[in-house]
Amino acid sequence: MLPFTLQQLRILKAVANEKSFTKAANVLFLSQPYLSRQIKSLEKTLDASLLDRNSQIINLTESGEIFLQYTERILALCEESCRALIDLKNGERGNLSVGASQTIGTYLMPRLLALFAQTNSQINLKVQVNSTRLISKLIVNKHVDLAVVGGEVPKELKQNLHIEPFVEDQLNLIISHSNPFAKQKKIKKEDLYHLNFITLHSNSTIRKFVDNTLKENNIEINQLKIVMQLNSIEAIKTAVSLGLGVAFVSSSAIEKEIKLKTIKILEIENIKVTRVLSIISNSQSYKSKAFKLFYKELLTLKKDLKNFT
């Protein structure tokens, strides 16, 4: 006989997430005294203290941290088993949780979802947009089924993931039409030192990728003049269109601006900043019919999506 119930695991997870019995009770629609009794019963059965109750904010003990890892895996498997049965019963109908890293989730994923929904309207899609690291972790923990990401997947998570190249994403150097350099179709790499750059913060995935590519092409990035650091692609595009500087931006994010002619793409002689977007999924999780349909659609759409990136 197991020393815990699934209800106790749900309660422990909720308390750990909310760091409060009151908030956890509200989330689970249960009474606070009931939650307290269940946690105490769980701790007694396991002969281990799971929660640190010495402060106003409830935290897990070391034993609690370890047990929570298994709790999340057990609950994820329970949800997966239910989904498998529902999937079998409903045929192609079902739910699918899709993830994307920041730029992809903002500019590319909506197009992917629109194309998929045209022929698969019966599938309910849930989308999560976050950093590649967090999305990868959500897939490992089976909270997201599959994702399209542009950043580097953390090494410690790769062994649990299936990673497949998707499409190339060109990071273009954009410039305002009012900038004197805009008269040139192509510039030499030495000209980069005479431009004012607008960038994302130094820890962003795109910023790191651009910096590494420039370094590989013998560009001294410390000598580039960065006049502004902004926290969003939209803000960067606006600043560039106003003539405040130039920036490297994903081609999937500038289609509208290119059509409206508010900015121009400036080519750099012998340098292309191109990254490969990847499809990632949990290598060990159950693949529902909804998953297989979406995955198949992604592979089919590769040729069309080359026009986006």
pLDDT band at 307 (very low <50, low <70, confident <90, very high): very low
Superfamily (CATH H level) for 169-275: Periplasmic binding protein-like II (3.40.190.10)
Is pLDDT of 306 > 60?
A: no
Mean confidence (pLDDT) of the chain: 89
Give the per-residue pLDDT at 185: 84
What is the pLDDT, as a whole number, of residue 309? 43
Matching CATH number, 93-167+276-305, of 3.40.50.620, 3.10.180.10, 3.40.640.10, 3.40.190.10:
3.40.190.10
Q: Which CATH architecture has domain 6-84?
A: Orthogonal Bundle (1.10)
Q: Is residue 123 within 8 Å of residue 292, measured between CB atoms? A: no
Least confident interval from 31-35, 38-42, 67-71, 296-300: 296-300
The answer, yes or no, to whether residue 194 has pLDDT greater than 90, is yes
Residue 297 has a pLDDT of: 82
Please name the residues in contact with 190: beta carbons below 8 A apart, sequence gap of 6 or more.
none
The torsion of the CA quartet 96, 101, 103, 107, rounded to 10 degrees, works out to -10
pLDDT at 292: 87
**Predicted confidence (pLDDT) per residue in 54-97, tens digit:** 777 889 999 999 999 999 989 988 887 887 777 666 655 678 89
Helices 109-119 and 289-300 cross at an angle (nearest 10°) of 110
Do 93-167+276-305 and 169-275 show the same overall fold? yes
Can you give the pLDDT at residue 93? 61
Domain ranges of the chain: 6-84, 93-167+276-305, 169-275
